[in-house]
Structure 1
Amino acid sequence: MTSDPLMPILQAAARVLLSRPGMAGQEHDAERFATERRQLIIDALAKVPGLRSRIRDGLELRRDDVDLQAVCALVLSADDDVVRAGLRLLELLGRQETARQTLRARHHTKVNGLRSKLETEKGRHNHTVAELRSAGNALADAEKRAEELDTQVAALQRRLHDPRVLASNLLSTLQRSPDGTGETSEARDPRNTRTDVQDRPPVVVAAEVAGIAPDSLVAALQAIISPPRNEPESPRVTVSRERRLRVRPLGGATEIGGSCVLIEAGQTRLLVDAGLIPGNPARPPRHIDQALSEPIHAVVITHAHTDHCGYVPALATRLPNLRIIATPETTALMPRMWADSAKLMGQRERLHRRWGSDSEPLYQRDAVEMTAHRCEEVPFGVVRTIGDLTVELFPAGHILGAAGVVVQAGDQRVVITGDISGFRQETVDGYSIPDSAREADLLVMESTCCAEEHDSRETRVKDLVRAVEDVYTAGGRVLIPAFALGRAQELAMIMRARLPHVPVLLDGMAADLTSTFESVTGDRHSPLCIFGGNVNRAERPQHLGLFTSGVVITTSGMLTGGPAVEWAARILPEARSALFLSGYQDEESGGARLLRLVEDRASHLTIDDHGATKEIPLRARIEMMRLSAHADKRGLLDIADEVGARQIMLVHGLPHRQQDFRKILEVRGHRSVATGPWQ
């Protein structure tokens, strides 16, 4: 039954009344008339049998409309009493229906009010949860920074009680001088225009204060660092000390990652680099066990990237007398990289333990603290004696603190480039080959980009700046996943110098290391100033939604995890925004997978979001904007020409590329040797 069962009859009556001659010539709406003159029509139905008769004759009833048939039987009856009784009954039912509708309306209003309150409370709850999460993230960041500070303090305290490390760092400080001896990265920085530098080397001033000759002071400190051996000579020992250099790559030879080179002469054995092979889990240098069968006296680290230094805490744990030598900048950066590796390995161990599998971490947090305090800072151009070998570091470009190494035994010399580049970057100058490296017996040279010819650095930077400007002008935001050490700081400084009007956020480990960059260079005449101006530290989760236009630089550079994945889930669906990959992408990485999806014109990216499959629309602009910090084919050829070594061995590259590059070296008049044992 409808809400007003009389309405069809009232409308039919209205049509009859409006059809009378007195109403002719006027336009009338029967439905409106029935509504406005309802009581008039009801009175007519009760008093005029003829009206009821005409309605009965003109009203068409459907057979299935039982309710209307019942109403008609009452209201259109020929018996006036039946009609009046029927009308009273229907009016009563109508009032009851109206009351029910009023109650339903009130109930609906109340329900809507409760729903609105519920939504408001949900919003407040979500806001509270977001604030708690933000506070939790801030607390986690504070705890992480506190742990890093604890590590640095603990390392400093231990150094203060370690005469060898104290002597080494003191000697490094004294040997930094304005005349080129112990040339610092500050002295090489073209932005440094300081002219009021003290003319006399610090070692000379210190020796005068001590009342001894400079050479005697250096010799005394060197004796503390590396005490002379007093064992009696024998014919056998004399033969073993012919100091013929022997070189053997133990990792990162025909692959990228896990770099490690063993160098031996006489009774001394040292490693140049001890890095991790990237992956899940991270692995030690591929053949490191070949070196550990005999004593290792020192490890020289070329730079702080994990694939070159990440295994050092594991070595230091196994070898309590191991000397760890690196530039001051690398020494400051390594503990942060080690701490991150220890954290990731610990997380994997807990996850594997939950699933009943074994995954023993290579080292833990306490090993990081212990290793950090044993590092010896050696500036560029300073010679260190390690048993039967001497070691000298020289600037290699690449990232802050990166060094190449000259190792000498007798009249033999081996030069190891580490990762190297010759072009000027925002955070570091290019390589500088010292005289001690020229015409060496062997050049061990990285070959990461030996098959590539890059555009000029300035061209690549301009392309990136133009692309970012286009996205920002259109009202979008740009996500640049970047390696936390080196690449992120380089990108931030490019944005600050070239696009000062564009807001920039640094997130994740990239932001933490940026603070270290600033502190490490803080005592220079031209310190690196990265934060400030338009560059700030990101605060999640607020910035995920509130930062709607600008640039986000964050880890991981290969989109394998970290904040970059969280940002990508927000930015990839935005048609006006962009994601620019800035560096090498491993074949199995998230970044490489994303590039393949773009090539296949896929519409969505599928990710695992805490155990649930999530589809992310791919509407943003996605491109590769490489800013490699490695020398390309031409750059490597220039290095080979400048060193002029008797032989060249290629490491840190892919075998098929190395094979082709060896042919080019041969054409240029260089003699290359196979990647493997050399003497």
Structure 2
Amino acid sequence: MTADPLIPLLRAAAEAVLSRPTMAGHTGGAERFAADHRAALLDMLAQSDDLRRLCRERLRIPRSRQAERDFAGLLLHADPEVRAAAVRFAQTADGRQADATADRGIRRLRDRNKQLQERLRTATGRLDNALADMEANRQTAREAGERAERLDAELSATRRRLRDPASTASALLALLQEEPREPEGDSRSRDPHLRREPPPAPLPSPLETAARLAEISPESFARALRALIEPPVPSATVVVSQERDLRVVPLGGGTGIGGSCLLVEAGGTRVLIDAGLVPGDPSRPPADIGQALDGPLHAVVVTHAHNDHCGYVPALTDRLPDLRIIATPETTQLMPAMWLDSVKIMDQRRRLADTWSVDTEPLYPREAVAEASRRCEELAFGVPRRIGDLTVELFPAGHILGAAGVVVRAGESRVVITGDISGFRQESVDGYAVPESAHYADLLVMESTCCAENHREREGMVGELVRAVEGIYAQGGRVLIPAFALGRAQELALVMRSHLPHVPVLVDGMAADISRSFEAVTADGPHPLSVFGGNVGRARPGDMDRFTRGVVISTSGMLSGGPAVRWAAKILPDPKSALFLSGYQDEESPGRRLLISAQSASPHLIVDDMGEERKIPIRARVDMMRLSAHADRRGLLEIADEVSAHEVMLVHGEARRQAEFREVLRLRRHTTTGTGSWRVS
């Protein structure tokens, strides 16, 4: 027989009780009190948090006395069921138990504790799963709400535009001036060498068909529509020839990427070509936009729907009630979704700023998006449109769906602005087509994003990406490709669908919504696009855990937020998987940090996802698989040679690279001018 293993704990409990003022007159000591009040002290230990706390502070049991430590741990346990079981066992003993009896009791209590812990783990797991499902449902509801909001805004804008004669005439004129589609047939019927009969007469254009039905000439029909679109110039206004000279001033994106904005002036007319935001920062307008707002502003011509070229347009329409917005039909339909995404990001940043008492205001309210959408005028390629003393004409620029270059004319003076441009055919869009009206212009304003690079042939870059994805898929892994929502994501999905039809592909985030827009915008055109179908589908809630093998294309392209960050948290720790960056990464972006971190001794990536900092270990393969949608050095030289302008100005690039490329242009006998204010000589 051994000593009662409860004695140290009971003594500590007795000392705690006797230390209270109400027990000041008690004599006999703690050991006597513990012996006389054993049952009462056990009950008090089971019920009193304060007594257990005091006992923990006083109790000191050597490690060698394991039985006493075990009993004390059970009677001071946080779980009331464990304490109650320990008390019941202790109260059945007489204080002088055999070691075997004590051991059996302790084993039973340990088993009970283990059962309770297992139940707790099961309940915790169920709770975690329920919370995860709840968060997935919340995310789904948020995304559905955002999609509904975008669709509602687009529908409302369409209704307002249909009620506006100028907008309706603009859309109708753009539709009528499209090139007629060739009749369908097999390859033999289209081969002129095999034809035995004269080829059929060319189809009449939509404009000719509409004019014939209206019983007027096509020129008169088009003139009537233009009269509805173009505000009349007051007859009292007389502008002398010298005042019509063109003036060009870059207001943003001159020696940097993004925030693109170019002011073109002639006579009393002032027009912006693009008005974009700085990538990754929806609160930064074009750097010198104030110069445009110092005087009247009549229109903004948007080259394409990327936010670094169009994101500031709603802020302008919010301030200028008569501002016209001119773009291709595809661009006018894609811009509202991009603007609403900017509003969402600005609202999120404002809420975070409010939390830290930082003063920040969105650049424009949500209502400005609807108004800007209503004011959009569709302009088909190759069709001049007058804006006061200026005439603008759009031409295909490649790059992304709907992207355009611009020819601006004032009298005999002409400026050509390429916008973002590419000459190679992509899955989603053909290359640029410079019109006759651009040849021998006074000034060529040319983007220079990739002026220091000579890209490999596009087929080679696509082949490298396809082989890399195939290798990861073969070893049972996932590939995450963060991509810009507009253009790059659709191009990647189409590449996967064309070259890897056996590999499952998910498109997530805003990229999925824009992909649906791509399909809708091109459905009735000569080259309808089907992004979804076959092996390509839209990501659903729970896919981050269920989708264990294949390709994920998700926003944002620089890992600055969105579902791509959450996918990265799942995929980067997996050595069988890979993350391939596919486009430009700003110096301060998480994507650029990822490329650098992947080469370090203990690689990890720290990202901010809606105010929550994540530290993600990097065990997956990380690489740059760039499928650029910009012309490289060779391509830019070909554009300069084809236009053969009197002077060339470089914009939308890094200053150091631009300086080197100017020297290359000069060696090719092109006259260059610095990125700054220019006037026709």
TM-score range, shorter chain: 0.7 to 0.9
Give me the whole-angstrom Cα distance separating, in 2, the residues matched to 1:434 and 1:610. Answer: 46
Aligned to 1:329: 330
Structure 2 counterpart of 1:257, one-letter code: G
Query: Which range moved further: 196-205 or 144-153?
Result: 196-205
Q: Is this contact kept in 1: 2:2–2:96, CA < 8 A? A: no
The aligned residue for residue 130 of structure 1 is: 132
Q: After TM superposition, give the deviation of residue 124 of structure 1 in Å.
A: 2.2
For residues 625 and 486 of structure 2, the distance between their equivalents in structure 1, rounded to whole angstroms, comes to: 18
Paired residue for 1:423?
Answer: 424
Q: Post-superposition shift, 1:409?
A: 1.3
Cα distance in 2, alignment partners of residues 385 and 246 from structure 1: 17
Q: Work out the CA distance in 2 between the residues paired with 1:418 and 1:367.
A: 25
The 10-residue stretch of structure 1 (129-138 or 499-508) with the greater mean CA deviation from structure 2: 129-138
Measured in 2, the distance between the counterparts of 1:309 and 1:241 equals 32
**1:488/1:553 contact within 8 Å kept:** yes
Does the C-alpha gap of structure 1 residues 428 and 643 become closer, same or farther in structure 2, counting only changes over 3 Å? same
Is the 1:346–1:364 contact (alpha carbons within 8 Å) kept by the matching residues of 2?
A: no
Cα distance in 1 between the residues matched to 2:181 and 2:476: 52
Matched, 1:576 2:576: yes
Change (3 A) 1:229 1:241: farther
Q: Distance in 1 between matches of 2:486 and 2:639?
A: 24
2:378 corresponds to which residue? Answer: 377
Counterpart AA for 1:159: R
Moved more, 117-126 or 212-221: 117-126
| Number of the residue aligned with 2:233 | 229
Quote the residue 1:675 is aligned against: 675
Residue 239 of structure 1 and its aligned partner are, at CA, apart by: 2.3
Aligned match of 1:205 in 200, 206, 209?
209
Work out whether residues 505 and 535 of structure 2, in 8 Å CA contact, stay in contact via their aligned partners in 1: yes
Letter of the 1:462 partner, please give it.
Answer: G
Secondary structure at the aligned position of 2:616 is classed as strand
- The answer to whether the Cα contact below 8 Å between 2:565 and 2:607 also exists between their aligned partners in 1 is no
* Partner secondary structure for residue 519 of structure 1: helix
Structure-1 residue corresponding to 2:635: 635
Q: Name the counterpart of 1:447.
A: 448
Task: Quickly say closer, same or farther: Cα 1:302–1:609, change in 2 above 3 A.
Answer: closer
Aligned position for 1:288: 289
CA deviations 1:361-414 (Å, max 9, x no partner) are: 101211111111111111111111111111111110001110000111111111
Question: How big is the shift at 1:316?
Answer: 0.7
Aligned to 2:161: 159
Mapped partners of 1:232, 1:624: distance in 2? 59
Select which of 86, 104, 119 maps to 1:117.
Answer: 119
Alpha-carbon spacing, 1:610–1:221, altered in 2? closer, same or farther (3 Å): closer
Give, as a single letter, the amino acid of the residue that structure 1 aligns with 2:229. Answer: I
Q: 1:658 to 1:603 in 2, by over 3 A?
A: closer
* Distance in 1 separating the partners of 2:414 and 2:519: 35
Q: CA deviation at 1:560?
A: 1.4
Deviations 1:62-88 (A, max 9, x none): xx99xxxxxxxxxxxxxxxxxxxxxxx
Q: Match for residue 524 of structure 1?
A: 525
Residue 506, structure 1, aligned to residue 510, structure 2: no
Q: Cα–Cα, structure 1 residues 606 and 161, in superposed 2: closer, same or farther, change >3 Å?
A: closer
Q: SS of the residue aligned with 2:249?
A: strand
Q: How far apart in 2 are the matches of 1:624 and 1:308?
A: 25
Q: Report how far residue 572 of structure 1 moved.
A: 1.2
Between the aligned partners of 1:139 and 1:371, the Cα distance in structure 2 is 27
- What secondary structure sits across from 1:238 in the alignment? coil
Q: Residues 165-209 of structure 1: CA distance to partner in whole angstroms, max 9, x if unpaired?
A: 1111111112123299xxxxx99xx9xx89999811222222222
Q: Following the alignment from structure 2 to structure 1, what is the Cα–Cα distance between the partners of residues 287 and 604?
A: 38
Residue 597 of structure 1 pairs with residue 597 of structure 2: yes
**Whole-angstrom distance in 2 between the partners of 1:367 and 1:427:** 30
| 1:224 match: secondary structure | helix
Give how far 1:300 is off. 0.5
- Taking a change above 3 Å as real, the CA distance of residues 279 and 139 of structure 1, as seen in their structure-2 partners, is closer
Question: What per-residue deviation string (whole Å, max 9, x for no partner) do you get for residues 269-324 of structure 1?
Answer: 11110001224453111111111111111110000011000000000111111110
Question: What are the within-5 Å matches in structure 2 for residues 229-248 of structure 1?
Answer: 229-233=233-237, 237-239=238-240, 242-248=243-249
2:560/2:608 contact within 8 Å kept: no
Matches within 5 A, 1:321-470: 321-470=322-471
Cα distance, 1:538–1:439 mapped onto 2, change above 3 Å: same
Q: Distance in 2 between the 1:649 and 1:270 partners?
A: 18
The TM-score with structure 1 as length reference comes to 0.81
- Amino acid corresponding to residue 622 of structure 1 in structure 2: V
In structure 1, the residue corresponding to 2:588 is in which secondary structure? coil
Q: Deviations over 1:341-369 (max 9, x none)?
A: 11111111222222222111101211111
Q: How far apart are the structure 2 equivalents of 1:614 and 1:256? A: 28
Structure 2 distance, partners of 1:115, 1:289, is 66
- CA pair 155-611 structure 1, distance change in 2 beyond 3 A: closer
Post-superposition offset of 1:476? 1.1
In the alignment, the residues of structure 1 paired with residue 116 and residue 315 of structure 2 have an alpha-carbon distance, to the nearest angstrom, of 61
Give 1:101 shift: 4.1
Q: 1:625 to 1:388 in 2, by over 3 A?
A: same
SS at match of 1:173: helix
The whole-number CA distance in structure 2 between the counterparts of 1:595 and 1:410 is 51
Q: Partners of 1:196 and 1:123 in 2: how far apart?
A: 72
Q: Cα distance, 1:674 vs. partner?
A: 1.2
| Aligned residue number for residue 316 of structure 2 | 315
**Residue-by-residue CA offset, 1:408-446 (whole Å, 9 max, x unaligned):** 111111110000000111100110111111111111100
Partner in structure 1 of residue 473 of structure 2 = 472
Q: TM-score, normalised by structure 2?
A: 0.81
Q: Report the Cα distance in structure 2 between the residues aligned to 1:608 and 1:509, rounded to whole angstroms.
A: 18
Checking the alignment, whether the CA contact within 8 Å between 2:299 and 2:325 is kept in structure 1 is yes
Contact map agreement 1:241 1:265 (CA 8 A) in 2: no
Q: Cα deviation per residue 1:116-175 (whole Å; 9 max; x = unaligned)?
A: 333222222222222222221221111111101110111011112211111111111121
Deviation at 1:657, TM superposition (A): 0.8
Letter in 2 for 1:522: A
Provide the secondary structure at the position in 1 that maps to 2:293.
coil
Query: Residue 168 of structure 2 aligns to which amino acid in structure 1?
Result: L
The one-letter code matched in structure 1 to 2:284 is R
Task: Report which of the two structures shows the higher radius of gyration computed on alpha carbons.
Answer: 1
SS of 1:663 mapped into structure 2: helix
Q: Deviations over 1:513-553 (max 9, x none)?
A: 1111111111135411111111111124x122221111111
| 1:471 and 1:576 in contact (8 A); partners too | yes
Residues 224, 628 of structure 1: CA spacing in aligned structure 2 closer, same or farther, 3 A cutoff?
Answer: same
Gaps of 5+ in 2: 4-63, 66-93, 192-198
Aligned to 1:656: 656
Distance 1:536 1:437 in 2: 42
Q: Is the 1:174–1:203 Cα contact (8 Å) retained in structure 2?
A: yes
Structure 1: how far apart are the matches of 2:181 and 2:613? 62
- C-alpha displacement of 1:608: 5.2
Q: Is the 8 A contact 2:646 2:671 kept in 1?
A: yes
Q: Report the counterpart of residue 174 of structure 1 in structure 2.
A: 176
Aligned match of 1:143:
145
Conserved? CA contact 1:281–1:348, under 8 Å: no
- Mapping of residues 185-196 of structure 1, within 5 Å: none
Tell me: CA distance 1:211–1:562, structure 2 relative to 1, closer, same or farther (3 Å).
same
* Greater Cα offset, 614-623 or 142-151: 614-623
- Aligned counterpart, 1:255: 256
Instruction: State the alpha-carbon separation in 2 of the partners of residues 496 and 115 from structure 1.
Output: 50
Of stretches 107-116 and 446-455 in structure 1, the one that deviates more from structure 2 is 107-116
For residues 257-276 of structure 1, the aligned pairs below 5 Å read 257-276=258-277
Tell me: CA distance 1:115–1:519, structure 2 relative to 1, closer, same or farther (3 Å): same
Aligned-residue Cα RMSD (Å) equals: 2.7
Change beyond 3 A, Cα 1:401–1:614: closer
- The code of the aligned residue for 2:359 comes to D
Task: Tell me the alpha carbon deviations over residues 569-622 of structure 1, each in whole angstroms, 9 at most, x when there is no partner.
Answer: 111111111111111111111111111122334333344577776543221111
